Amino acid sequence: MPLHCGTAKKEITPQIGTNLAGYMKERKAAGIHDPLYTRVFVFSNENDLFIMINLDLVGIDSHYVKLLTNRIWENFSIPKHHVFVHATHTHSGPGGIFDESSLLATAHPYLNGYLPYTKSIVDHQHNQILAAIDYALKNLEICEVKFGEGVAEGIATNRNNLEASYDHKVSVITFTNKQGEKAIMYHFACHPTILNANNVYISADFPGEVSKVLEERSDVNCAMFINGPSADISTRFTRKASTFQEVERIGGKLAQKVIQTSESATAIERPIVRAALYPITLQMRDIPDEKTIKQELKNLQAICSEKQDKVSVGELRRIASQIEGANCLLQIVKNVKKVNDITTVIQLFRIKHIVFVGIPGEFYFESGEEIATYFDFPLLFAGNTNDQIGYIVPKKYWEKRDYEAYTTLLAPESEDKIKQAVREYLYLFANEGECKDG
């Protein structure tokens, strides 16, 4: 049976005056620079339905996903393990998304825009997602599927170390109907943080610009961004300013690379879709002594003052991020009591031999790269998927005290445990012949 695909997008822009989420600064939206969307791809093969949902939000927690997948089941009888829910991680979208049960939002209130859980915001988003699914289901069409990979240099780097491994890869999947209309799914790893904490306008940041450029083409009806393992990847050293003009420049540059990659993509014969969810339980970090962290913060501030006129702007940004991280850790000390376990999920969602690995937090680029060396089929890691448990920091970086190590809620062994679990699940798929090309 040929693969059928339907797509849709619906606006989820909050009201002006809504608190924006993502930075340690309370910000009320003064206006709308560009609308926020949910984009939905629905796939039908062998009498099964599968959904990929992307949201222009800083993140989503397990409560958000549970409410949404329950409604999807009630309305469309599609089971939760067939539903992939992904946040782009823009830092210029609404707060109020995370439930009071979210350990991450309790630890870091700025991720919720310093708002309590706001049911009206979440209900509106869920209503729009369901409307998009309904439209996509009613417009399923046989499609030709193609996959391509390219290199998009000059967009992003490792934000802590310019010498660290990063391959600048952009992966593109196109779904083309008989009329020649395309839906594009593009995967790239980078924090959408061109716009900084001083921005007070609602925006999807650079992924919104990329999708806008693509969707303005006459042959493209929907363009969905899937953010890769970008915990330590950003535009810190590549952006020239934190302006909307810079969003357009970088977004336009990536859009052109997506177009080029799509034009050289190769067809996938007999595409099928499969998906599975796997629970995983992780340990929480030990909560440090407040006095120790205050001293570290004082030392970092002294270093920043000393190097103010002696190092590059990028290096100053890195030190400033360490100071921000130390402040975040103070919030953890004040806001969070030690819990024994953090239970979440990992998802595998495959289109023929291409496997999306849904990670419920912010995964390091090198963590995904290490797993990929064990397999001979494309692995597209997607952070901020189905839950948000924060930074998943490799053990070796704990002593370096970068922003991510300061702010993580997870014990140092967590990254190794996730890598091992993902490998085991992927081996299961491969051994069953699920991921073989052709």
Q: Which residues are annotated as a binding site?
A: 89, 191
pLDDT > 90? residue 81: yes
- How many separate domains does the chain show? 1
Q: So what's the pLDDT on residue 437?
A: 38
The residue segments making up the domain with residue 120 are 1-287+336-438
- Given a cut of 90, whether residue 102 has pLDDT beyond it is yes
Q: Which residues are annotated as a binding site for Zn(2+)?
A: 89, 191
436: confidence class by pLDDT, cuts 50, 70, 90: very low
Band (186; pLDDT cuts 50, 70, 90) = very high
Q: Is residue 304 one of the residues assigned to a domain? A: no
Residue 181, domain member (yes or no)? yes
Cβ atoms of 210 and 225 within 8 Å: the answer is yes
Question: How does residue 1 score in pLDDT terms, banded at 50, 70 and 90?
Answer: confident
DSSP run (H or E) holding 85: strand 83-87
| Structure token digits, residue 283 | 């340990």
Q: Encoding tokens for residue 319?
A: 């030190």
Average pLDDT over every residue of 217-233: 97
Q: Is residue 205 part of a domain?
A: yes
Average pLDDT over residues 267-288: 95
- Predicted confidence at residue 431, as pLDDT, reads 67
Within 8 A by CB and 6+ apart from 136, the residues are 6, 7, 8, 40, 41, 42
The answer to whether position 292 is within a domain reads no
pLDDT (tens digit per residue) in 374-416: 999 999 999 999 999 999 999 999 888 889 999 999 999 999 9
3-state secondary structure of 326: helix
What is the total residue count of the chain?
438
Q: What span, in angstroms and rounded, lies between the C-alpha atoms of 373 and 141?
A: 35
**pLDDT tens-digit profile of 118-152?**
999 999 999 999 999 999 999 999 999 999 999 99
Q: What are phi and psi of 285, to 5 degrees?
A: -65, 160
- Three-state secondary structure call for residue 322: helix
Q: CB neighbours of 189 closer than 8 A, spacing ≥ 6?
A: 156, 166, 169, 227, 228, 229, 230, 233, 365, 368, 381
* Tens digits of residue pLDDT in 47-68: 899 999 999 999 999 999 999 9
**SS3 label, residue 232:** coil
The reply to whether 416 falls in a domain is yes
Cα dihedral sign, 276-277-278-282: positive
pTM exceeding the 0.85 threshold for the entire prediction: yes
Percent of the chain whose pLDDT exceeds 70: 98
Is residue 377 situated within a structural domain?
A: yes
| Percentage with pLDDT > 90 across the chain | 84
Q: Would you say residue 125 lies in a domain?
A: yes
| Cα–Cα distance for residue pair 32/14, rounded to 1 Å | 9
pLDDT at 433: 52
Alpha-carbon span 316 to 304, nearest angstrom: 7
- Whether 106 maps to a domain, the answer reads yes
